[in-house]
A and B are shown apart, each in its own frame.
Chain A
Amino acid sequence: MSGWTIRLDGSESPTKEAAGGKAWSIARMRGLGLPVPPAFVIGTKACLAFLDSGDFPAGLAEEIDAGLAWLESETGRSFGAGEKRLLLSVRSGAAISMPGMMDTVLNLGIDDAGEAALAAETGLAGFARDTHRRFLELYASIVLKAPVELEGNAAPGDWRAAVEAAGGPVPASVRDQLLATVRAVFESWNTRRARRYREHNNIPHDLGTAVTIQAMVFGNLDERSGTGVLFSRNPLTGEAEPYGEYLPRAQGEDVVSGKFTPLPLDAMATAEPEAHAALLAASDRLEREHGDVQDIEFTVQSGQLYLLQSRAAKRAPAAAVRFAVDMVAEGRIDPATALSRVSAEQVRTLLLPRLSDGATDGAAVLATGEGACPGAATGVLVADADEAERRAAAGEDVILVRKTTSPDDVHGMIAARAVVTEQGGSTSHAAVVSRALGRPCVVGVGDGAVAKSGTVVTVDGAGGLVYAGTLATEAPNEQADARLRQLIEWARAASPVAVVDFAAGPDGFDVDRALAAGDAEALAGAIGGASVVRGHALANDDIARIARGAGATTIVTEPILPVLLTMIGDAA
């Protein structure tokens, strides 16, 4: 053995440099005693040897065969033969995740006989056929670099012919398919985008990538199988309660596709109590281990729980604040870590104006659509971008309403308080531009909205509603929220600059007046070493940075927490 491959059985913990990030994380989970589908990794050293010589180094193919034999014994399945097929997921995995590299080939190991075996085992002929198709599509796209869309109703022979016409033949043996895939992963180290990314992030070119080869598990194998997602806490509200969903007899893609409505986790507790208990224990273990809220993908195969992936959970702004403060109280993290977990942007989002409590009671809904950018705003509906710009410049609050928007309307969108369109969904031009501008936006309200121009309305960009008339809106106060107050206290202790609100702040250099008179570039000179600066414009990160760079030691503005977080982030 030349040591080209490493078994991820939890007995040793390979470094990220040697095994790549994905294998490292699998080994770590196994080391914690958590259930992960069996896997081995071809180390980065093999990639470097391959790139050096243009071919597999001596002994690698044999080690891969030995790894496959081990996966077969671990799973009780066989690769490319028999009634219970071993299918593989093959992934690239550099020490640092980077774009431009080959991603993942799933279901490797299926062929015509394998499809028949899988159909017999699951009783789901359609699923087996679809598994086969998805493998061929991934193989075409990733290994042969010739993406094809295969007709769902066609026969596998036709699929292979289509793939061959587009990018070349698919090897007949599944072992050769695997070796070709490993080759493609190695070669993807040197794609234009991967090289560019490394150059601009000062990552050496001679690290190489690993290849993780893992047994596929099937959430749709039988009645005791399923798949789901678990957050160790609620990522929307921040509550310290597990949050997730479970889809019995399904694959992970079925959850993502939205074709099926998953069940709450309670359903899993009833159907598979042991797997459910193991999942909650794993969730707590991983959260403690990482000191952060986890987002866990899992599959249950015939009653046995498998964790597929665990990573820091993405979170809504309110949850980010709550996680950070609560986890300090629980002794899981320190205040400095808590501050690093909340961004200025998240706090600004929390402080966006919104409809006051009870403001919508008895209000008439004028139009309903899809909320594309949150926030609330009141103004008069104006159907023409030029007119919107003119009236806004004259001091009027306007809401731009269009059938659809085009680049022709962007100046009107900038001038407007909010944007409403008759057509389009969350990816429409209006939605994209409104989000880039931070304007509340409701899209797709249907015909007739433009005809209502001249009407005063209130737009609720979160709920996707347009109300008649002026409703009460309010900007939440950062001091009124106990958790935000706690963060402000920690942030003040950590910030290199004092940041205070208008009521508490001393007089100082008036940044708003200076900006009105000149431009941002001249601001540093104008500040000229004043130690105290004041103004609403300082709530903007760039302006605050200019002021700090010009020597200000006290910034007087509102809200203060976002500026504090930016200053701490810059100093870190």
Chain B
Amino acid sequence: MNDRDLALHGAAIKRHAPAKAIGELVGLSEERAAALLADAVATGRAIEAKGAYALTPLAGVALQSRYGLHFQHLRDDAGFRSAYDGFERINRTLKQIITDWQTLDVGGQKVANDHRDKDYDAKIVDRLGALHEQAERILAGLARGLPRLKIYGDKLIEALEAAEDGDIEWVSDIRRDSYHTVWFELHEELLRIMGTERDE
């Protein structure tokens, strides 16, 4: 993918993020990402508000149509595809872990987890740790096919360790690069790479 499409692709996955975060995700320097995004704004491909960028709808569709071109080799790569299948498989476990993190079973009904039971939380962070050990092989397989995807593994372990250290917002907070946020950005990236649709 050329740098221009990389910047647009980053803005598509990380909506309403500043150039630094978009650049980091796709492996462009902050300056390079900022220049490309400014250019995208000038040509009507992106909009900028308070230093954060988002694609215009038409640019989003156009980008989507170029994915086949950029990613066909990965779609045909048996190793990459098998890593992707592995991701989709453990994605179900991840979603269950995050759901168990957010909700408690009380007498057969679900209520919100208010994180008062430290043992309960510790057990779930532990399940997340166990899942991450399984994910590491899959993430390595994905990064073999497309080296820039390594960033997701780095950010996931960062979030996991912050959660293990007791800052539990790093599990699923939506406004930071929590484990859940990064995981779903990776999922979105993979869906775009493989040209498939989210199946819930």
| A binding-site residues for B, Cβ under 8 Å | 97-100, 193, 196-197, 200-201, 231, 234-236, 243, 245, 313-317, 319, 343, 345-346, 349, 374, 386, 404, 406-408, 410-411, 414, 421, 423-433, 435-437, 443
Contact for B185 among A317, A407, A423, A428, CB less than 8 A: A407
B43 contacts partner chain A, Cβ-Cβ < 8 Å: no
The residue on A at minimum CB distance from B166 is A200
Q: Which of B28-36, B71-79, B119-127, B148-156 contacts A (4 or more CB under 8 A)?
A: B119-127
Assess whether A314 is in contact with B95, with CB atoms less than 8 Å apart.
Answer: no
The residue on A at minimum CB distance from B184 is A407
3 tightest A-B CB contacts, nearest first: A99-B126, A424-B200, A345-B114
Assess whether B107 is in contact with A231, with CB atoms less than 8 Å apart.
Answer: yes
Assess whether B98 is in contact with A427, with CB atoms less than 8 Å apart.
Answer: yes
Given contacts A100-B126, A197-B164, contact A432 B15 (CB under 8 A): no
Bound: A99/B163 CA distance, A: 12
B-chain residues with CB within 8 Å of residue A200 when the two chains form the complex: 164-166
Assess whether A100 is in contact with B99, with CB atoms less than 8 Å apart.
Answer: no
Assess whether A437 is in contact with B174, with CB atoms less than 8 Å apart.
Answer: yes
Bound: A345/B168 CA distance, A: 15
Assess whether A99 is in contact with B105, with CB atoms less than 8 Å apart.
Answer: no
Bound: A316/B113 CA distance, A: 9
B180 contacts partner chain A, Cβ-Cβ < 8 Å: yes
Contact for B111 among A98, A316, A407, CB less than 8 A: A316
Assess whether A314 is in contact with B185, with CB atoms less than 8 Å apart.
Answer: no
Bound: A196/B95 CA distance, A: 24
Assess whether A314 is in contact with B172, with CB atoms less than 8 Å apart.
Answer: no
Contact for A343 among B95, B106, B116, B200, CB less than 8 A: B116
User: Which residue of B107, B122, B174 has the most chain A CB atoms within 10 A of its CB atom?
Assistant: B107
Q: How far is the CB of A297 from chain B (nearest CB, A)?
A: 13
Q: How far is the CB of A270 from chain B (nearest CB, A)?
A: 21
A-chain residues with CB within 8 Å of residue B98 when the two chains form the complex: 427, 432
A-chain residues with CB within 8 Å of residue B119 when the two chains form the complex: 97
Bound: A346/B115 CA distance, A: 10
Assess whether A408 is in contact with B12, with CB atoms less than 8 Å apart.
Answer: yes
B-chain residues with CB within 8 Å of residue A433 when the two chains form the complex: 174
Q: How far is the CB of A510 from chain B (nearest CB, A)?
A: 24
Bound: A331/B122 CA distance, A: 33
Assess whether B57 is in contact with A436, with CB atoms less than 8 Å apart.
Answer: no
Across chains A and B, the number of contacting residue pairs, with CB separation under 8 Å, is 118
Given contacts A408-B188, A430-B200, 4 further A-B contacts (CB under 8 A): A193-B129, A349-B111, A432-B102, A436-B102
Number of interface residues of B (CB under 8 A): 49
A-chain residues with CB within 8 Å of residue B126 when the two chains form the complex: 99-100, 193
Bound: A386/B198 CA distance, A: 20
B85 contacts partner chain A, Cβ-Cβ < 8 Å: no
Q: How far is the CB of A292 from chain B (nearest CB, A)?
A: 12
Given contacts A235-B107, A314-B117, A428-B200, contact A436 B172 (CB under 8 A): yes
B-chain residues with CB within 8 Å of residue A319 when the two chains form the complex: 106
Assess whether B125 is in contact with A99, with CB atoms less than 8 Å apart.
Answer: yes
Bound: A221/B93 CA distance, A: 33
Bound: A235/B114 CA distance, A: 15
A-chain residues with CB within 8 Å of residue B115 when the two chains form the complex: 345
Assess whether B123 is in contact with A243, with CB atoms less than 8 Å apart.
Answer: no
A-chain residues with CB within 8 Å of residue B166 when the two chains form the complex: 200-201
Contact for B173 among A98, A411, A430, A436, CB less than 8 A: A436
Assess whether A425 is in contact with B200, with CB atoms less than 8 Å apart.
Answer: yes
B109 contacts partner chain A, Cβ-Cβ < 8 Å: yes
B16 contacts partner chain A, Cβ-Cβ < 8 Å: yes
> Can you report 23 residue pairs joining A to B where beta carbons are below 8 Å apart?
A97-B119, A97-B122, A100-B129, A193-B129, A196-B165, A231-B107, A234-B107, A243-B107, A315-B111, A316-B109, A319-B106, A343-B114, A345-B115, A406-B188, A406-B198, A407-B14, A411-B16, A411-B54, A414-B174, A424-B200, A427-B96, A428-B200, A435-B102
B13 contacts partner chain A, Cβ-Cβ < 8 Å: yes
Assess whether B15 is in contact with A429, with CB atoms less than 8 Å apart.
Answer: no
Contact for A426 among B57, B110, B117, B165, CB less than 8 A: B110
Bound: A188/B187 CA distance, A: 32
The residue on B at minimum CB distance from A429 is B184
B-chain residues with CB within 8 Å of residue A414 when the two chains form the complex: 174
Bound: A546/B143 CA distance, A: 43
Bound: A426/B92 CA distance, A: 12
A-chain residues with CB within 8 Å of residue B95 when the two chains form the complex: 427-429, 432
Bound: A431/B112 CA distance, A: 12
The residue on B at minimum CB distance from A432 is B98
The residue on A at minimum CB distance from B174 is A436
